[in-house]
Copies of this chain bind each other. A is one copy, B any other.
Amino acid sequence: MRTYIHEIDKYIDHEVTLKGWLVNKRSSGKIIFLEIRDGSGFIQAIITQDGVSKQIWELANTLTQESSLIITGIVSQHPKKPSVFELQVSTIQIINIAQEYPISKKEHGPDFLLNERHLWLRSKRQWAILKVRDVVETAIHQYLHEQFFVRTDSPILTPNACEGTTTLFPVPYFNLGEVYLAQTGQLYIEAAIGSVGRCYDFGPVFRAEKSTTKRHLTEFWMMDAEAAFVEHEENMQIQEELVKAIAKQCLKKCQEEFAILERDTTPLEKMLTQSFRRVTYEEAIPLLHSLGSDIKFGEDLGNDDERLLTKESEVPVFIHKWPKTIKPFYMKRDPENTDLVLNNDLIGIEGAGEIVGGSQREDDYEILLGRIREEGLPEKDYAWYLDLRKYGSVAHSGFGIGVERMVRWMSGTEHIRECIPFPRLVNRMRP
Q: Which residues of A contact B (CB under 8 A)?
A: 2, 4, 6, 19-22, 38-40, 66-68, 95-96, 98-99, 101, 117-119, 121-122, 126-127, 130-131, 133-134, 137-138, 141, 145, 148, 150-159, 169-176, 179, 181, 188, 191-198, 203-204, 206, 208, 210, 218-219, 221, 228-229, 363, 384-385, 387-388, 390-395, 420-422, 424, 426-431
Contact = CB atoms under 8 A, between A and B. Distances in A.
A122 B194 contact: yes
Given A138-B141, A174-B208, 6 more contacts: A40-B196, A96-B392, A127-B195, A133-B151, A153-B221, A156-B219
Given A155-B219, A156-B219, A424-B157, A22 B392 contact: yes
Nearest to A174: B426
Given A151-B138, A152-B134, A121 B392 contact: no
A181 B182 CA distance: 13
Given A19-B228, A393-B96, A429-B158, A152 B421 contact: yes
Closest 10 CB pairs of A and B: A39-B197, A118-B191, A384-B431, A68-B392, A121-B195, A66-B392, A66-B391, A98-B391, A155-B422, A96-B393
Given A130-B196, A138-B145, A193-B39, A119 B387 contact: yes
B39 A196 contact: yes
Stoichiometry (number of copies): 2
Contacts of A6: 148
Nearest to A194: B122
A195 B151 contact: no
Contacts of A431: 191, 384-385
A298 to B, nearest CB: 32
A210 B134 CA distance: 36
A134 to B, nearest CB: 5
A98 B429 contact: no
Nearest to A421: B152
A390 B429 CA distance: 23
Contacts of A420: 153
Contact of A176 (B172, B195, B427): B427
B118 A134 contact: no
Contacts of A195: 39, 121-122, 126-127, 130
A431 B185 CA distance: 12
A394 B98 CA distance: 11
Contacts of A38: 197
Contacts of A428: 176
A27 B6 CA distance: 64
A303 B430 CA distance: 37
Nearest to A118: B191
9 contacts: A118-B388, A119-B391, A133-B153, A138-B151, A155-B421, A155-B424, A156-B206, A157-B206, A192-B421
Contact of A204 (B156, B174, B192, B395): B156
A390 B221 CA distance: 31
Contact of A392 (B98, B194, B363): B98
A192 B420 CA distance: 12
B429 A157 contact: yes
A422 B219 contact: no
Given A118-B388, A141-B138, A130 B192 contact: yes
B119 A19 contact: no
Given A121-B195, A194-B121, A229-B2, A67 B392 contact: yes
